[in-house]
Amino acid sequence: MSNPSPSASAARRFDRKRPDIASGLFTGLTGLATFGILAILATILGNILYHGLPGLSWRFVSTIPRKDMFEPESAAVLSMIVGTSIRVMVMTIFVIPIGVITAVYLTEYAASGSSYTRIIRVAIANLAGVPSIVFGLFGLGFFINFIGKNLDLLTHQSGPLFGKPTVLWASLTLAVMTMPVVIVATEEALKAIPPGLREASLALGATKLETILKIVLPNALPGILTGAILAVSRAAGEVAPILFTGVAYYMADLPGKLTDQFMDLGYHAFVLSTQSDNIEKTRPILYATVLVLLMLTFSLNAIGIIVRARIRKAMRAGH
């Protein structure tokens, strides 16, 4: 065969690149969307920092509000920092074990694909979509009026001890609300464990329970902590679920028992913005309170992230 004609070889050359307008547009669009999100975040944080920092002082975060909460000279948030921290921690203590056990049941024991398992999964997904005020009403109806009042009857209390808003009921209400996050994160972590590890353990004569406790759960720990971090982030700023279940407008002392009420940063921000008779004077306190709430949420998250990083490092090192 003779050499192909010049025109034929020209038709097969590579250097025929045309501008790909659609791809260029799409790249630009994704970048723009990302930039938009970052800009909104920066505006929110910048605004709070700018207006909140001047009101922030050591006295503000380290004293219990004694006199006028709306007066910049006497306003303080120690009670709210303590209250929010306690309700988040108590919630974590309840939500992690229950959520993890549920996820273990769903991934390791329940027959996958059965209609029963499907119904449970749909229920969990729906739980995640319930508005938080509904959880607040649920907490009031179930924890306080049903469990709490009956506990009081059973233990012959002279006055209401459990049948009223408390740290415990607020934390439990938040635990119910954040349960789906923990379940889903744990399930993902359990599914990501190579089946070979389970087989290896079983083939050595381990029972299913031993395999779950010694191989599956330790390896899922980082994923479980991700669930905990997400749950804490969601719960720390929520006000609606604690509205009827535990938060107080004002308390002279810090909460000392699980049956005490508590003050809360998010709720206090709501109080400052709606109950003040001089909103201009109160605004710096409001910003400072919101800034403290953000800092608290970030530090609670930071603890989770550091612990998770350490566990991952230890796992790589083989311990």
Partner 1 sequence: MSAAPLIETKNVELFYGSSRALKGIDITIKEKLVTAFIGPSGCGKSTFLRCFNRMNDLIDNVRITGQCLIGGEDIYAKDVDVIELRKRVGMVFQRSNPFPKSIYDNIAYGLRLHGTKDKSEIDGIVESSLRGAALWDEVKDRLHSSALGLSGGQQQRLCIARAIAIRPEIILMDEPASALDPIATVKIEELILELKKEFTIVIVTHNMQQATRISDYTAFFYIGELIEYDLTTKIFTNPAKKQTEDYVTGRFG
**For partner 1, which stretch binds (CB under 8 A), given 69-77, 145-153, 193-201, 240-248?**
193-201
Q: For residues 30 and 207, which CB has a smaller minimum distance to partner 1 in the complex?
A: 207
CA distance 43 to 98: 38
Choosing from 21, 22, 154, 203, the residue that interacts with partner 1 (CB under 8 A) is 203
Residue 117 makes contact with partner 1 by CB under 8 A: no
Whether the CB-CB separation of 312 and 222 falls below 8 Å is answered with yes
Choosing from 6, 19, 159, 196, the residue that interacts with partner 1 (CB under 8 A) is 196
Whether the CB-CB separation of 196 and 257 falls below 8 Å is answered with no
Quick one: which of 263, 267, 270, 265 has its CA closest to 241?
Answer: 267
Choosing from 85, 219, 273, 301, the residue that interacts with partner 1 (CB under 8 A) is 219
Quick one: which of 111, 101, 85, 104 has its CA closest to 174?
Answer: 85
118-157 positions binding partner 1, by CB under 8 A: none
Residue 209 makes contact with partner 1 by CB under 8 A: no
Residue 207 makes contact with partner 1 by CB under 8 A: yes
Angle between the N-to-C axes of helices 78-104 and 217-236, in degrees from 0 to 180, rounded to the nearest 10: 140
Q: For residues 72 and 222, which CB has a smaller minimum distance to partner 1 in the complex?
A: 222
Structure tokens at 2: 């003779």
Strand, coil or helix: 297: helix
Quick one: which of 293, 300, 168 has its CA closest to 237?
Answer: 293
276-315 positions binding partner 1, by CB under 8 A: 315
Residue 200 makes contact with partner 1 by CB under 8 A: yes
Amino acid symbol at 232: V
Whether the CB-CB separation of 261 and 194 falls below 8 Å is answered with no
Residue 192 makes contact with partner 1 by CB under 8 A: no
Number of residues that bind partner 1 (CB under 8 A): 22
Provide the minimum distance between the beta carbon of 119 and partner 1 in the complex, in angstroms, as a whole number: 19
Choosing from 22, 111, 154, 252, the residue that interacts with partner 1 (CB under 8 A) is 111
Q: For residues 128 and 206, which CB has a smaller minimum distance to partner 1 in the complex?
A: 206
Helical spans, DSSP H, in 53-114:
58-62, 78-104
Q: For residues 16 and 316, which CB has a smaller minimum distance to partner 1 in the complex?
A: 316
How many CA atoms lie within 13 Å of 287's alpha carbon, on the beta-carbon side? 20
Residues in the site for partner 1, rule: CB under 8 A?
A: 111, 194, 196-197, 199-207, 210, 214-215, 219, 315-319
